[in-house]
Amino acid sequence: MLKVDLHTHTADDPVDRIPYTTRALIDRAAALGFDALAITLHDHQLDVRPYRRYASERRVTLIPGVEQTIEGCHVLLLNFPRDATKNIRTFADLWALKQRDRGLVVAPHPFFPASTCLWTLMDRHADLFDAVERNAMWLRAVDFNRRAERWAARHGKPMVGNGDVHRLEQLGTTYSLVDAARDPDAICAAIAAGRVRVVSYPHTITGAARLVAKLFAGCLFDRRLDGEKPPELERSDGPRQRYSVFGRPSSPDQMWSQRVQNNVSAPSRSVVRKSFSH
């Protein structure tokens, strides 16, 4: 069984300000015993070829991926050709992509209360999704993944566990165990076939508060830089975009941060392992 996370971000991300490089993420994944990792930047599929040798030396397999905005909502496109994902803007485009190329389509955080989550589009385009994400951002008292689990069971879709990693400490709290060879094609095929199990631990209230502070501080820094040219860390093409956390949350990170800040009832601090299989 391979330990896998299919939803991570790095400093190359054109939307979110991430304080660590791709190599730092690979190092962290290796230290935690991960076998495979997908780096899924917003609307930009990172060319992972320059990092494959570095990752391979640490026994980490890199899976190409992108968190693409399709009709205003986030969708994970995994193991598709890099050029093929660039212009996927509608679900008709996504249908055509799946006819042309092999890959895995995952619905990330589909029922979180954020404007970029899929919600009713899940039913409308159910046949396009190969798997559904259990997102790492949850507390015992606040868990928006439960509806996703019910939807997946109703539609016969496998669940995958993903960290949606924006800070390195998020890696390893929720992940997938996949019965596959150490190869991107094999991993994606195994997930589509349901040979996957989710391991997921809730955040404690203190851990959540610490993470929220870091995420919120990064968003405030981005707001201060509005109108300025931000530093490019590892990116070599394209400007960095930013979403504001002020007003309606535009991403699950921002929504979850606000919800945790408003959560006044502290749940149990014990850590529980949750597993799901299909």
Is residue 259 in a domain? Answer: no
Number of folded domains that form the chain: 1
Question: How many residues are present in the chain?
Answer: 278
Spatial CA neighbour of 63 closest among 91, 109, 112, 25: 25
Q: Which domain holds residue 79?
A: 2-200
Q: Tokens at residue 38, please?
A: 């997908």
Residue 35, φ and ψ in degrees, nearest 5: -100, -25
Whole-angstrom Cα distance, residue 36 to residue 147?
27
Host H or E run for residue 38: strand 36-39
**pLDDT at position 212:** 87
Is residue 22 in a domain? Answer: yes
pLDDT tens digits along 225-254? 444 433 333 443 443 443 333 334 556 765
Burial 113-147 (b: 16+ CB within 10 A, else e): ebebbbeebbeebeebbbbbbbbbbbbbebbbbee
- Contacts within 8 Å (CB) and 24+ apart, 124-127: 124/91, 125/91, 125/94, 126/155
**pLDDT at position 72:** 98
Which amino acid type is present at position 156? Answer: G
Is residue 260 in a domain? Answer: no
**pLDDT at position 250:** 56
Is residue 161 in a domain? Answer: yes
pLDDT tens digits along 165-192? 999 999 999 999 999 999 999 999 999 9
Interaxial angle between packed helices 252-262 and 205-224, expressed in degrees from 0 to 180 and rounded to the nearest 10: 130
Is residue 229 in a domain? Answer: no
Is residue 245 in a domain? Answer: no
**pLDDT at position 217:** 81
Is residue 12 in a domain? Answer: yes
**pLDDT at position 216:** 82
Is residue 244 in a domain? Answer: no
Q: Tokens at residue 128, please?
A: 């396009």
- Assign residue 176 the CATH number of its domain: 3.20.20.140
Three-state secondary structure call for residue 75 = strand
Host H or E run for residue 66: strand 61-70
Whole-angstrom Cα distance, residue 233 to residue 197?
35
Q: What is the mean pLDDT of each run of 10 residues along the chain (278 residues)?
A: 98 96 98 98 98 98 98 98 97 98 98 97 98 97 97 98 97 98 98 98 93 81 47 40 40 60 40 40
